[in-house]
Amino acid sequence: MDVLLLSGTPSRHHGAMSALRARGLAIRAASGPGRARRLLDAAPTIVLVDLSACDWLTRRLVSALNHQRRTCLVVALHEGTLGGAIGEIADLRVDGFCPMHDWRPVASIAPPRGSASALSIH
């Protein structure tokens, strides 16, 4: 499984990304629209969008993410509220939401190493 994290500050998610890597996921991060587009072209299985640190999301990138939902799971990471979702981010369609302080729902998507895959989020 391949995970793409879109965040203006990917380093703030270091602990969660390490935990996902320990479960066998390949994690890549983008902190700008150019790299995000290139990594989306690699067809990740899961895209995590940090709503609090993605003020660089352009209309074109949001459109690409919305189109990508046909082939991957798009999860919005939030800080307890979606009230700040303005601008281009307001048009983003996602498959689920996850609080940034509790990545357990995201981690549950990836089975432990050696187990069968189960792509679902609650």
* 69 falls within a domain: yes
Sign (positive/negative) of CA torsion 73, 69, 94, 51? positive
Q: In which order are the strands placed within the sheet that holds 96-99?
A: 26-30, 2-6, 46-50, 73-78, 96-99
78-119 pLDDT, tens per residue? Answer: 876 665 555 667 788 888 888 877 777 777 766 555 544 444
CATH of the domain at 67: 3.40.50.2300
In a domain, 66, yes or no: yes
Does any domain span residue 119? no
pLDDT digits (tens, 9 = 90+) for 35-68: 999 999 898 999 999 887 767 888 888 898 898 8
Residue 118 lies in a domain: no
Please count the structural domains in the chain. Answer: 1
Note down the domain range covering 71. Answer: 2-107
Report the predicted TM-score, pTM, of the whole model to 2 decimal places: 0.81
